[in-house]
Amino acid sequence: MDESEDVPKDFIKLKSEKLSVDEVSELVISPYCGAVSLFIGTTRNNFEGKKVVHLEYEAYTSMAESEIKKICRDVRQKWPSIKHIAVHHRLGVVPITEASVIIAVSSPHRAESLEAVTYCINTLKASVPIWKKEIYEDEYSWKENKECFWANSEK
């Protein structure tokens, strides 16, 4: 395969169905890359002593996709060797232990892909309009990300 046939691609998806680590990682594999780095954010069963039953996510979908595209552009500027980027985020109900978000990045070497994955998740939490509601046994709470710039600007 000529490298020009394996042009860098971004795979962005917001969906209500269960996310697949295999599907996301396979999207970014390239014969020109020796590294695929993954971040998988899963629903845990507790928060500050409360039992979490499940999470629910809502998004302003078109704006969220646009913001994720900006993150991908930023990644490519910061780490020009990055080949493919995949960001899949689940919407709706996410049961305990299931993935809310999966990010995968491929690059020729591990350092760039690891740094890029960290940048992707931190920037996504800070700037993408996706909201999380934690459902407990007898109550619920909308959660803001501590990284979220618009939430912190009002405090």
> What are 8-62's pLDDT values in tens digits?
999 999 999 999 999 999 999 999 999 999 999 999 999 989 999 999 999 999 9
Region 82-90 average pLDDT:
98
Write out the binding residues. Answer: 109-110, 125, 132-134
pTM: 0.89
Q: Is the pLDDT of residue 98 over 50?
A: yes
Q: What is the pLDDT of residue 145?
A: 60
Q: How many residues can be counted in the chain?
A: 155
Q: Please name the residues in contact with 22: beta carbons below 8 A apart, sequence gap of 6 or more.
A: none
Q: What is the pLDDT of residue 139?
A: 79
Region 102-129 average pLDDT:
97
Write out the binding residues for substrate. Answer: 109-110, 125, 132-134
Q: What is the pLDDT of residue 37?
A: 98
Side-chain half-sphere exposure of 28, counting CA atoms within 13 A: 29
How many CB atoms within 10 Å of residue 49?
5
In this structure, are strands 85-90 and 10-15 parallel, antiparallel, or unpaired? parallel
